Amino acid sequence: MSTIDFQGGEILAALESQFAPKVVAKPKPEIKISNAIVCSFYTSDEYYKNHGARLRANLEDLGVAVDLREITKKEGEDWAAICRKKVGFIAEVCEANPDKKVFWIDVDCELFSIPDFILNSTADIVGFQRGFSNPTKIGYENRGRFWEPCFWGINNTPQARKMISAAADFEQVATVRATDDFFFEEAWRATSPNMTFQIIPSNCAVDKGSGNLEGHEVFFRFGSSGQVENFKGKVEQHKGSKAKARVNPKRELLRTAKFVEAKLPEKLSARLRLLVDASGITGFLTGKKHNNLNNQTISELVNAGKNGDLGKYNEALALFKRKVLPNRYESAAIKVASSYLAYSAKPSGKKLKIAWWENPYPGNYGDWLTPFIFNHYTEDKIIFQGLTTQAPKKHLVSLGSVGRFIKSNSVVVGTGVSSFKHALNPKAEYVSVRGPHTAELLIQSGGPKVENFGDPAVVLSRILPFTRGKTNGRIALIRHHTHLQAPVRLPEKFDELSVQISHPNDIIAFIEKLHEYDSVVTSAMHVMITCQSYGIPCALVVFNGFEEYVHGDGIKYSDYALGAGVRELNPVSINPKIDLAEIKAITHVIRISEAKISEVEAAIKEGINKLK
């Protein structure tokens, strides 16, 4: 080899070394939680493997130690056999970590955090109750098994570890065909007399409880591959001590109706929906779904509020308070009954029937703006007309995406739709609609051409002429009520206000409160409209993972903006762990023109006159 060749080779090697891609070792995740480990496993199936990668990133982001393994699915093994492996796996993790709490999580679930009340619990076992039910439903007469095994924690106490060992020992010798649930339930029943336990509230799981701002943080999202239903009756299952068939005729009828509707041609299905909604069948099938009320006195109290019977309301309330300490649902019903009464018990001898969406109790700000706004323009009593029930008398339908529920004897003022899925009733009397998209659907439904647009909420600044003085240097977050279980983390200088209000005094206080803030961040459209009526800086958002929780396909935002003559805004998807810099970039100052407010105000007055 010549000298030149040798040097050239050295130079080439040096160049290759300089420009070759460098392999950088991935830093080990920082462990921020020292007293616990989270474990799970997955098979190589695409569904589970993808979820395994997502869960690993999720847990590493939380800073918790992880034992997450891919296991081999042997020939002939089905889902039930794989689930059974959890028993020995969890026992192995417990044995390897004698000083840590061990948490199991199904691989297709998600943790947003591990709250202190769980992480530092002294209970032997902590978890969700079977079916994510609440403590009023505890007991084997309600459930065949005690625990919901998708997420649960095993303390490092002797009693907790004894239960896990008992489950693993039994699984090794048992010949029954069963999943992990069966073996853990058997071990629980055998050892529970010596154990302490802690039930996690169902409200802590997305979609498994009722969202509110007062409870523990939402930290868990349940995932389901659908395999549980596939193996019902094929593996050993426990039954409650008073096992009985729980037949729910309304639920079964609703399920059948949805199935039939899905099979019908689109035009026939749309016509059928109009008939069903107008007949009140929709209200009958879904009526008790929202408010969890069983107390007869509370039902009488709410009806008294709707009918303006102050004497009956006071009598029912006094009777209830003497006999019962109200739960959260009953307290909400008492509040909403008072709200009905504020409109229905006015001194006038005349009545005005108005329909609006009443649920969920104690009410949703945007829906309860309907009686609030119309109340300003009439001295008549305002009597509630259900949207989903029969309407024998002429009535008003106004705010909200409730066009589906317009009936032949409705007078429509500013109503909108959330999609083109449901036809509009062409026989109603249309004064105005929210915007041109709703007007287009009305024409497609065989109705009249309407060119008078505007959501009635734009008149709020004329009803309550508040002015903004010096603000408090803070930002208000107001979530749509369907977003209350989003795992929101507020940065500094943020406060959260609730839309779950209905009483006119609360609505006034809410709007006045908005004026105190530098700006508003909201996922509720009528909060945004309120801000635009006054010119309050506002960001319209939706939370990552919760984009589908507000009904419809999003046309309502465009419909509103085109109808109100303002710049169109669509919700921006943001991380629930709110970033202030991200919010500033999407905050806008938009104000409704006085001309549009006057136009909408005239439509409101015309709608009232058409009922007289």
Amino acid at 480: H
Q: If DSSP codes are grouped into helix, strand and coil, which group holds residue 280? A: coil
CA-CA-CA-CA torsion sign (547, 549, 552, 557): negative
- In a domain? residue 196: yes
What letters, b where the CB count within 10 A reaches 16 and e where it falls short, cover 176-194?
A: eebbbbbbbbbbbeebeee
pLDDT score of 497: 96
Q: Looking at residues 15-21, what average pLDDT do you find? A: 50
Query: Which of 82-91, 315-324, 396-405 is predicted least confidently?
Result: 315-324
The rounded Cα 308 to chain-centroid distance in angstroms is: 32
User: At residue 385, what are phi and psi to the nearest 5 degrees?
Assistant: -120, 120
Distance CA 461, CA 593 (A): 11
Q: Looking at residues 35-48, what average pLDDT do you find? A: 92
Query: Which of 392-401, 479-488, 592-601 is predicted least confidently?
Result: 479-488
- In a domain? residue 225: yes
- In a domain? residue 304: no
Assess whether pLDDT exceeds 90 at residue 140.
no
Which residue, 212, 475, 206, is CA-closest to 364?
A: 212
Q: Which domain holds residue 140?
A: 33-230
- In a domain? residue 334: no
pLDDT score of 223: 83
Assess whether pLDDT exceeds 90 at residue 387.
yes
Q: Looking at residues 151-168, what average pLDDT do you find? A: 96
Q: Looking at residues 74-103, what average pLDDT do you find? A: 92
Q: Looking at residues 359-367, what average pLDDT do you find? A: 93
Q: If DSSP codes are grouped into helix, strand and coil, which group holds residue 584? A: helix
- In a domain? residue 269: no
- In a domain? residue 416: no
Residue 170: Cβ-neighbour burial (10 angstroms; 0-12, 13-18, 19+): middle
Beta bridge pairs of residue 200: 128
Beta bridge pairs of residue 366: none
Which residue, 69, 67, 130, 128, is CA-closest to 102?
A: 67
**CATH number, residue 60:** 3.90.550.10
Which residue, 216, 41, 53, 30, is CA-closest to 119?
A: 216
Is residue 374 within 8 A of residue 538, CB to CB? The reply is: no
Assess whether pLDDT exceeds 50 at residue 206.
yes
Which residues touch 49 (CB under 8 Å, ≥6 apart)?
42, 43, 70
pLDDT score of 187: 93
- In a domain? residue 352: no
Name the band, by pLDDT with cuts 50, 70 and 90, for residue 1: very low
DSSP string for 122-188: -SSEEEEEGGG--GGG-STTT-SSSEEEEEEEE-SSHHHHHHHHHHHHHHHH--S---HHHHHHHHH
As a whole number, the mean pLDDT across the chain is 87
Instruction: Compare 260 and 470 and report the one with higher pLDDT.
Output: 470
Is residue 149 within 8 A of residue 164, CB to CB? The reply is: no
pLDDT score of 124: 97
Assess whether pLDDT exceeds 90 at residue 141.
no
pLDDT score of 545: 87
Assess whether pLDDT exceeds 50 at residue 4.
no
**CATH number, residue 542:** 3.40.50
pLDDT score of 10: 56
Name the band, by pLDDT with cuts 50, 70 and 90, for residue 266: low
Q: Looking at residues 20-38, what average pLDDT do you find? A: 74
Final residue in a domain of this structure, among 230, 260, 282: 230
Assess whether pLDDT exceeds 90 at residue 109.
yes
Query: Per residue in 476-507, pLDDT tens?
Result: 999 999 898 899 999 999 999 999 999 999 99
pLDDT score of 79: 81
- In a domain? residue 592: yes
Name the band, by pLDDT with cuts 50, 70 and 90, for residue 73: confident
Name the band, by pLDDT with cuts 50, 70 and 90, for residue 583: very high
Q: Looking at residues 327-344, what average pLDDT do you find? A: 92
Is residue 39 within 8 A of residue 67, CB to CB? The reply is: yes
Final residue in a domain of this structure, among 198, 214, 230: 230
Distance CA 229, CA 472 (A): 53
pLDDT score of 291: 59
pLDDT score of 598: 98
pLDDT score of 320: 86
pLDDT score of 236: 56
Distance CA 574, CA 572 (A): 6
Assess whether pLDDT exceeds 60 at residue 12.
no
Spatial strand order of the sheet with 538-543 comes to: 494-497, 475-478, 519-522, 538-543, 572-574
Which residue, 299, 306, 362, is CA-closest to 507?
A: 362
429 Rama class: left (phi>0) / alpha (psi -120 to 50) / beta? beta
Amino acid at 101: K
pLDDT score of 328: 84
Is residue 519 within 8 A of residue 535, CB to CB? The reply is: no
Tokens found for residue 127: 């978890």
CA dist list (Å): 300 to 303, 360, 391, 400:
5, 18, 21, 28
Please give the tally of structural domains in the chain: 2
Query: Per residue in 178-193, pLDDT tens?
Result: 889 999 999 999 999 9
Beta bridge pairs of residue 152: 104, 127
Instruction: Compare 393 and 252 and report the one with higher pLDDT.
Output: 393
pLDDT score of 258: 62
493 Rama class: left (phi>0) / alpha (psi -120 to 50) / beta? left
Q: Looking at residues 553-573, what average pLDDT do you find? A: 94
CA-CA-CA-CA torsion sign (548, 552, 558, 562): negative
Instruction: Compare 195 and 296 and report the one with higher pLDDT.
Output: 195
DSSP letter for 347, please. S
What size, in residues, is the chain? 612
Which residue, 20, 59, 27, 22, is CA-closest to 40?
A: 59
Q: Looking at residues 213-240, what average pLDDT do you find? A: 67
**Could you count the other beta carbons within 10 Å of the beta carbon of residue 309?**
18
Is residue 535 within 8 A of residue 590, CB to CB? The reply is: yes
pLDDT score of 513: 97
Tokens found for residue 371: 């009686």
Assess whether pLDDT exceeds 70 at residue 269.
no
Final residue in a domain of this structure, among 230, 264, 299: 230
Where would I find the H helices in 308-429?
310-323, 328-344, 365-376
pLDDT score of 612: 80
Q: Looking at residues 533-549, what average pLDDT do you find? A: 93
pLDDT score of 340: 97
Assess whether pLDDT exceeds 50 at residue 119.
yes
